[in-house]
Amino acid sequence: MLTTRVVAFVVYGGAMLWALERLGVSGTVLWTALTGFAAVGAVAFFAAWSVLSNLFCALLIFTTRAFRPGDLIELIESGDKPGIRGRVLDINLVYTTLVEADAGTGSHTLQVPNSLFFQRVLRHWRDTSSPAER
């Protein structure tokens, strides 16, 4: 089925190119325009990929209820690096806002892209305090 469609596409495309060339349109110009449009489309797709990934991950966060506003979460980095820890303030379509409480300097607001929650290990406490805060 797929091979039939591919063959039909190639045959129809070739016939259209042949007809346009008979009408005086240069095949080189057509090929240049086609590859130019394909390149622009590929660049636009890769530029939008990050945004689309965050939107899809937000949908997964909302449906799986992995965490909610008020929960304390930590994204664990690989190796000996400290992770990102904070209380969930807000979840929107692009990022999740965390409030990171630092003992010496007060609190900081972090905006973490939603796709990061599916690329790292997530530690999460549903009650009001983490083991470090108890």
pLDDT-based confidence at residue 31 (cuts at 50, 70, 90)? confident
- Average pLDDT score, the chain: 85
Residue, of 78 and 109, whose pLDDT is higher: 109
The residue ranges of every structural domain in the chain are 1-127
Q: What is the CATH number of domain 1-127?
A: 2.30.30.30
Helix (H) or strand (E) holding 91: strand 84-91
Question: In the predicted model, is pLDDT for residue 98 greater than 90?
Answer: yes
pTM of the entire structure?
Answer: 0.60
Question: What pLDDT is attached to residue 129?
Answer: 55
Write out the DSSP string of 63-90: HHT---TT-EEEEEPSTT---EEEEEEE
Tell me the two tokens of residue 69. 């506003």
Question: In the predicted model, is pLDDT for residue 131 greater than 60?
Answer: no
